[in-house]
Copies of this chain bind each other. A is one copy, B any other.
């Protein structure tokens, strides 16, 4: 089994991502409003993980509640992922629904997203060792990106 074939980096292109979210909102019966559009635009402007409060700070003309509610909606549907920084603060990044892993640069904060799963074999191994029926996992990697090493 070739693991590298299972884990391809996924780029989040602002326009593509925004359009995809809009489509997801439509098919979910959610309304596409101007405040929500502003939230999407602000999210894709971030190049590193951001907090809810930082996102709100970028949106002076949008209500705090709207920012928090929209962010929560995007998070629960997978369009925004939560990054657990090493020993630091958690943050959010634009992502895609489904099973993703994140590689975070400890220097500049850049995040590379991986689709597909590289640890299935290990999960099987651990399931055998323990008496657990393993259902899911969280994997995040930390390092230095090409520019920062």
The residues of A with any CB-CB pair to B shorter than 8 Å are 3-4, 7, 9, 76, 84, 86-87, 103, 105-106, 112, 114, 118-119, 122-123, 125-146, 149
Contacts and interface: CB of A to CB of B under 8 A. Distances in A.
Contact of A112 (B103, B130, B142): B130
B141 A136 contact: yes
A145 B132 contact: yes
27 contacts: A3-B122, A4-B125, A4-B129, A7-B129, A9-B129, A9-B130, A84-B138, A86-B136, A86-B138, A103-B130, A106-B135, A112-B132, A114-B126, A118-B122, A118-B125, A119-B139, A132-B141, A132-B143, A132-B144, A133-B143, A133-B144, A134-B141, A135-B142, A136-B142, A137-B139, A137-B141, A138-B142
A119 B118 CA distance: 9
Contacts of A130: 9, 103, 112
A37 to B, nearest CB: 26
Contacts of A145: 131-132
Of A4, A119, A143, most buried by chain B (CB within 10 Å of CB) is A143
Nearest to A110: B132
A-B pairs with lowest CB-CB distance, top 9? A131-B146, A134-B143, A132-B143, A136-B142, A137-B141, A138-B140, A133-B144, A133-B149, A135-B143
A130 to B, nearest CB: 6
Contacts of A84: 84, 138
